Structure 1
């Protein structure tokens, strides 16, 4: 499946940039193969339009912000957050044609990021209630490009058979090749997954968790949100709750913007933010090394790849996406598709 060839994916929300980075000059981003530009309007709210001036197609992202609107660097045409042209310097005494427009997109701020939807939204931004709970602190971890399909990462997050082989330096345990428990529950837009997995605890992780055991058990309650967000709620025996939220925002068919933050019910005095990020930096690089070697064209037809019991979360995800495409009259588009 190629994400840019499936129009349905334009109807979901994706985090595209940290709110803290959206100030000053316009910011360019590619979402589902479409170049967009983001900035803050006169009220300090995020705006997003296509990164292409309707006059002579110059990129608006190399322009500047004037009075909360975006001004093209080529001829000075200026557009507001609705995509309407509000100024043509060469026509100071003439009316501006109503046809002078660029395509504008919906934006929302949530969890410290600006989310964008390219079409009419089918579902809400994933609900993470702990982000509004004062008992949890939020740590922004990673915002970076990964050269792989977001669907591969979603499956990987719920795959409890890979830690023993991929995460050998961080938490994988050779004594626990598969989870002791796997339970599933589906809703219209989500897959809820519970597992119990034995893990190793290297010295750095023991410090982060405030424990001395070299091995413990992770109880993981995961939620996959259609199409490319996952929440992993990890509970340790000492009561620590560590929640990972990861969205693979689709840049194009072969790349995704990895957006990850975590929530914890402890304090900076318990575990330093820098230490937590350092540990999960090591974890994510172990995943990235493998995932960037996988095919970006992920087949929804499960007969196209081989599977084992622990692949069940990924199989459910593929079937749910296939059902979504079918419900909206779409056919899976692949690199060898003749449709």
Structure 2
């Protein structure tokens, strides 16, 4: 399955310490843990001996110990010690199933299966990496557990026409719901929308007045998207405000997901809690609507749902998923 060969976010890096953490990706149970060097690992959450959840175990002397019989596994997955038979030398079959991992944008990314050829790298988003763009501050909100498919969440993130109704008084106003025509183009990794404008009473925590805000949206992978927003000059307390937001979604099952937003901005003064509270409010407004949508999986057939001209980006996203061969979280 194509989706197993893609990189997916599964947890915040700073949330994984010495204790094993359970997670799920594409209905696969994972155990996440760090060894004594600080390296992150993601394994199948199942001991090869009797199938117990390794996430119930502990890390001892830099190795992951099964909670059932105390078998110990070093980085790489090989069993090194069977306490009940201390002289036994475990062989190659006495090994945990190990998945590829990467750290990027403050998150642990996991790939469940090797791709044919080189495969795709973890999404290249320089603005959201502390080491490549120190000029912008990074703050992450979430996780948000959502009873909706990952594509439904991404499509909602790309949608401006709901602002005046779902985010009334914040990102939109009922008496100014118009979305002017905008441009959509394909890219090597997805689709991009430019010259997107919407009126917003409070576009961010820095808004001092309602403003016409210009958006740029970019889908950088099946379950990842980025927006940048530029309010009208003079409508924010922070002059020259720069703000980008990435939506990272982990497809847990076909109809449940975990999402995070990562902000990159030139605001180095506001407390993290205030920035996160704003994102929590916005996502909290979206969540009940997302969870109400039927079908929960995103239908890709052109005639499955009706559209308007304001849905050009959403239609382009659906065509991208269809062309990329995505099966998970969609109805083809």
TM-score norm. by structure 1 comes to 0.88
- Residues in 1 aligned to 2:88 and 2:8: alpha-carbon distance in whole angstroms: 39
Q: How far apart, CA to CA, are the structure 1 residues paired with 2:329 and 2:103?
A: 33
Conserved 8 A contact 1:176-1:197: no
Question: Which residue among 101, 109, 114 is the counterpart of 2:108?
Answer: 114
Query: By how many angstroms is 1:335 displaced?
Result: 9.7
Offset of 1:267 from its aligned partner?
2.3
Aligned counterpart, 2:237: none
Task: Report the CA distance shift for 1:61/1:212 in structure 2 as closer, same or farther (over 3 A).
Answer: closer
Extract unaligned runs of 5+ from structure 1.
Answer: 1-6
Task: Give yes or no for contact 1:181–1:194 (8 Å, CA) kept in 2.
Answer: no
Shift of 1:302: 2.3
Are residue 257 (structure 1) and residue 253 (structure 2) matched? no
Match in the other structure for 2:182: 182
- Partners of 1:30 and 1:246 in 2: CA distance: 18
- Tell me the matched-pair count: 319
Higher helix share: 1
Q: Tell me which residue corresponds to 2:291.
A: 292
Match of 2:208 in 1: 212
The verdict on how the C-alpha distance between 1:281 and 1:335 changes in structure 2, with shifts beyond 3 A counting, is closer
Are residue 163 (structure 1) and residue 163 (structure 2) matched? yes
1:197, distance to aligned residue in structure 2 (A): 2.1
Shift of 1:218: 1.1
Q: Residue 236 of structure 2 corresponds to which residue in structure 1? A: none
Paired with 1:10 and 1:334, the residues of 2 have a C-alpha distance of 13
Q: CA–CA distance in 1 between the matches of 2:123 and 2:329?
A: 27
User: Shift in Å at residue 334 of structure 1?
Assistant: 8.4
**Cα 1:334/1:227, change in 2 over 3 Å:** closer
Map Cα deviations across residues 170-193 of structure 1 (whole Å, 9 max, x no partner): 121234323224111212322111
CA distance in 2, matches of 1:34, 1:334: 15
8 Å CA contact 1:173, 1:198 repeated in 2:
no
Distance 1:335 1:127, change over 3 A: closer
Which among 119, 122, 126 is matched to residue 123 of structure 2? Answer: 126
Counterpart Cα distance in 1 of 2:123 and 2:328? 26
Deviations 1:119-157 (A, max 9, x none): 125312222212332221111222121111110111111
Instruction: Give a deviation string over 1:102-126, Cα, whole Å, max 9, x none.
Output: 2110111111111111112531222
CA offsets 1:160-212 (integer angstroms, 9 cap, x no match)? 1111111113121234323224111212322111143232324xx67x32x53
Change (3 A) 1:66 1:333: closer
Please identify, of 116-125 and 11-20, the stretch whose mean Cα deviation from structure 2 is larger: 116-125
SS of equivalent residue, structure 2 residue 170? coil
1:144 & 1:137 partners in 2: Cα distance? 22
**Larger RCO (CA within 8 A; separation ≥ 6):** 1
| Residue of structure 1 in register with 2:223 after alignment | 228
**For the aligned residues, what is the CA RMSD?**
2.1
Structure 2 spans left out of the alignment, 5+ residues: 234-239
Please report how far the alpha carbon of residue 336 of structure 1 lies from its aligned counterpart in structure 2 after TM superposition.
9.1
For residues 260 and 147 of structure 1, what CA distance do their matches in structure 2 show?
A: 17
2: CA distance between counterparts of 1:257 and 1:105? 19
User: How far, CA to CA, are the matches of 1:181 and 1:266 in structure 2?
Assistant: 31
* Cα distance in 2 between the residues matched to 1:293 and 1:75: 44
> CA 1:333/1:248 → structure 2, altered by over 3 Å: closer, same or farther?
closer
